[in-house]
Structure 1
Amino acid sequence: MPQSPDPGLAARIARLEAIEEIKALKHRYLRACDAKDPEEFRACFVAAGASIDYGRLGAFDDADGIAEVFERIALQQVDGKNVILDMHHALHPDITVHGEDRASGRWTLKFRQVNLLDGTESVSTGEYDDEYAVEDGRWKMSKCHFRRYWAITRPLGESCRVDQ
């Protein structure tokens, strides 16, 4: 007589699959930031009602607000070249699945930005506090709060060359 699958095993596999899908979501978000892709950036959040708090960049009750800030800052160009160059690396994911369609997570961010308008380079770190929900069959961010721990900003200097 064949044994029926262990329901505990199925639940553990579903939890691990959810965690991997959430990691992929956060990575899509980070790549969208660095690639200056506003459509993909916005698509990482729920359609309506996300709780967003990015500190100095603002707090919003919907992802449309932070998407507008993203476009205004990240897409700036002078003479057809980008003037804000970003590099986002999220590390140390700590993801908890609360059910089939809800989860939360924390990530440490390493962030580097070159601002050609100001002639500066900034390096900073901080912590993301996220919540996730399944919407239209995919995990999306329903909350994304960021708290910066510290930052260093220094001049690029005349000998610095930036290629893009």
Structure 2
Amino acid sequence: MFGDGDVDVRDLARRVARLEAIQEIERLKYRYWRACDSKDPDAFRECFVREGADIDYGSGLGGFDDREQLVELYSKLALRRDGNRWLYNDIHHGMHPDIELIDANTAVGSWTFWFMRVNLADGVVEQASLEYRDRYLVEDGKWKIQSSHVTPLTGVNFPIPEGANVAPGPAVPK
């Protein structure tokens, strides 16, 4: 294709657009996890479609058919404080994305996910790994999460040792 001077510009433009869409979807998922860790309900909300969300986070958190239900639970947990300290500090790490574009406005993807929470409310550290299976839609010109289902893989909880130095977590949102 490139060796003989006949470059198919339309095919090249289509392939670049595909790569850009995949990159935008990956950035969306990273923004979602970053919003979780930084305790930012507004950024968290903006990762999902306004209506028609299909979220299933399993027996631990449950299912949701509306982003506002999910944002309400997220805020209730993530923003819980005891005086000047957060009761839950999370670390979300997603990796191994496999994104497939269905068309210009629809995609599906799967991710391997590692999670750790310092849970001061219960005095434990929680670790888990999961598989995410997502569906993405373009809404108002931006990729959003329409559907997200998780399958648990591994998990372990252990007590925070007496006298452990626990960092304060993220700054309080303004």
Short-chain TM bin: over 0.9
Question: How does 1:41-52 map onto structure 2 within 5 Å?
Answer: 41-52=44-55
- Would the aligned equivalents of 1:102 and 1:133 in 2 still touch at CA under 8 Å? yes
> Is it true that 1:88 corresponds to 2:92 in the alignment?
yes
The percent identity for this pair of structures is: 44
Shift of 1:5: 5.2
Q: Which residue in the other structure is 1:13 paired with? A: 16
The CA RMSD over aligned residues, in Å, is 1.2
**CA displacement 1:75-110 (0-9 Å, x = unmatched):** 100012111000000000000011111001000101
Question: TM-score with structure 2 length normalisation?
Answer: 0.90
Unaligned runs of 5+ in 2: 1-5, 169-174
Q: Which residue in the other structure is 1:65 paired with? A: 69
**CA displacement 1:52-85 (0-9 Å, x = unmatched):** 0001201111111111110111110001211100
CA distance in 1, matches of 2:103, 2:9: 18
Aligned amino acid, residue 22 of structure 1: I
Aligned amino acid, residue 78 of structure 2: A
> Is it true that 1:23 corresponds to 2:26 in the alignment?
yes
Question: How does 1:119-158 map onto structure 2 within 5 Å?
Answer: 119-158=123-162
> Is it true that 1:118 corresponds to 2:126 in the alignment?
no
Aligned length: 162
CA distance in 2, matches of 1:163, 1:99: 45
CA distance in 2, matches of 1:4, 1:151: 51
- Would the aligned equivalents of 1:58 and 1:66 in 2 still touch at CA under 8 Å? no
- The counterpart of 1:34, out of the listed 2, 14, 37, is 37
Aligned amino acid, residue 36 of structure 1: K
CA distance in 2, matches of 1:146, 1:63: 16
CA distance in 2, matches of 1:127, 1:65: 22
CA distance in 2, matches of 1:148, 1:28: 22
CA distance in 2, matches of 1:111, 1:59: 19
Unaligned runs of 5+ in 1: none
Question: TM-score with structure 1 length normalisation?
Answer: 0.95
Moved over 4 A (4+): none
